[in-house]
């Protein structure tokens, strides 16, 4: 999930020895959640004629979305804690907007989208009169996912090598396309009264279109999660790809504050490594 090298190094999951373990757990949990979401939506689509089966599939989808939200929030909290708290994160984000866009706003929007989608599912399953509100929440959730996916791709490459850029794109592109399909599915569900095809089978055909878009979106999320796991494993190899560092003086400011000194003046470089001093 991490796009910037500095954010990855600063991320605080707990004791230093637990960092790698939690990084693997996050990647595995995200992959499991997307697979569960795809399986749940497949089950709901296959049993759309059975209310019990449809409810069970949507409940499993809600669990999967809750796991996705938890992974994003856990990663977001680790970034904020590792970079020194909310105030310091805001100060660094003013120097390098990439930090705010790809490491903070993107996971926050994905978590918000999951929360809205879960709320929509609860309304749709438990309130016969809440279909309109549920459809509106679904559109809001899909919009949050698209916005988060767009922000996730707002990264300028200066230091990253070709392998890092390829792995980043392999995560960003299917994530964005999947989020777009979820938004299309939500908009179609919201406009279902206008989209109903004529004839007794019209509602069934329209629902098939809605479920197909959702299934394709969840399949693309699975692809993004798999490549994210590959990226995490590659980051721990001896020949790990180079990721981007903070720009605009944020890297220098963070290095000086960690060393206990005053913030550097504009144009100063970060202090040399300890072994060269």
pLDDT at residue 267, as a whole number: 45
* Cβ atoms < 10 Å from Cβ of 233: 13
Q: Which helix (H) or strand (E) holds 217?
A: helix 202-235
Give the predicted TM-score (pTM) of the model.
0.83
Residue 197, SS3?
coil
pLDDT at residue 180, as a whole number: 96
Q: Is residue 270 part of a domain?
A: no
pLDDT at residue 47, as a whole number: 80
Contact present, 112 and 144 (Cβ < 8 Å): yes
pLDDT confidence band for 73 (50 / 70 / 90) = very high
**Considering the chain, what percentage of its residues have pLDDT values greater than 90?**
33
Mean pLDDT across the stretch 88-117? 87
Bigger pLDDT: 249 vs 52: 52
Q: Which of 114, 101, 99 is nearest to 64 (CA)?
A: 114
Residues in the chain: 277
Q: Report the mean per-residue pLDDT for the chain.
A: 80
CA distance 114 to 102: 18
Mean pLDDT across the stretch 101-127? 89
pLDDT at residue 266, as a whole number: 45
Q: Is residue 144 part of a domain?
A: yes
35-49, 153-167, 220-234: least confident range: 153-167
Q: Is residue 274 part of a domain?
A: no
Task: Work out how many domains the chain is built from and give that number.
Answer: 1
Bigger pLDDT: 245 vs 55: 55
Q: State the maximum Cα–Cα separation within the chain, in Å, rounded to a whole number.
A: 80
- Digit-coded pLDDT (tens) for 165-213: 888 899 999 999 999 999 999 888 877 666 555 555 656 777 778 889 9
Q: Is residue 271 part of a domain?
A: no
pLDDT at residue 255, as a whole number: 65
Q: Is residue 272 part of a domain?
A: no
Q: First CA to last CA across the chain, in angstroms?
A: 34
pLDDT confidence band for 129 (50 / 70 / 90) = low
* Residue 143, token pair as written in the block: 């919009």
Q: Is residue 105 part of a domain?
A: yes
Q: Is residue 70 part of a domain?
A: yes
- Domain assignment of residue 89, given as a range: 5-265
pLDDT at residue 101, as a whole number: 84
Which residues have C-beta within 8 Å of that of residue 268, sequence separation ≥ 6? 249, 252
- Digit-coded pLDDT (tens) for 142-173: 999 999 999 988 877 777 778 888 888 999 99
CA distance 261 to 265: 12
Contact present, 24 and 232 (Cβ < 8 Å): yes
Contact present, 133 and 170 (Cβ < 8 Å): no
Q: Is residue 160 part of a domain?
A: yes
């Amino acid at each position: 999930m991490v796009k910037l090298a500095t954010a990855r190094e600063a991320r605080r999951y707990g004791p230093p020895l637990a960092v790698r373990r939690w990084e693997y757990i996050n990647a595995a949990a995200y992959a499991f959640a997307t697979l569960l979401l795809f399986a749940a939506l497949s089950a709901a689509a296959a049993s759309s004629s059975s209310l019990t089966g449809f409810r069970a599939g949507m409940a499993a989808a809600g669990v999967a979305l809750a796991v996705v939200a938890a992974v994003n929030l856990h990663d977001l909290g680790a970034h904020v804690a590792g970079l020194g708290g909310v105030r310091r994160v805001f100060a660094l984000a003013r120097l390098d907007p990439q930090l705010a866009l790809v490491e903070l706003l993107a996971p926050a929007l994905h978590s918000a989208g999951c929360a809205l989608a879960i709320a929509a599912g609860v309304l749709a399953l438990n309130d016969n009169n809440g279909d309109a509100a549920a459809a509106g929440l679904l559109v809001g959730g899909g919009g949050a996912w698209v916005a988060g996916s767009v922000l996730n791709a707002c990264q300028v490459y200066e230091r990253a090598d070709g392998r890092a850029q390829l792995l980043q794109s392999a995560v960003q592109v299917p994530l964005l396309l999947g989020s777009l399909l979820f938004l299309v599915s939500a908009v179609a569900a919201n406009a279902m009264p206008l989209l109903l095809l004529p004839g007794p089978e019209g509602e069934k055909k329209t629902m098939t279109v809605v479920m197909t878009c959702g299934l394709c979106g969840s399949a693309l999320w699975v692809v993004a999660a798999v490549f994210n796991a590959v990226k995490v494993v590659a980051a721990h190899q001896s020949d790990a790809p180079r990721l981007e560092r903070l720009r605009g003086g944020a890297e220098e400011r963070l290095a000086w504050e960690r060393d206990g000194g005053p913030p550097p003046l504009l144009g100063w470089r970060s202090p040399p490594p300890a072994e060269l001093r």
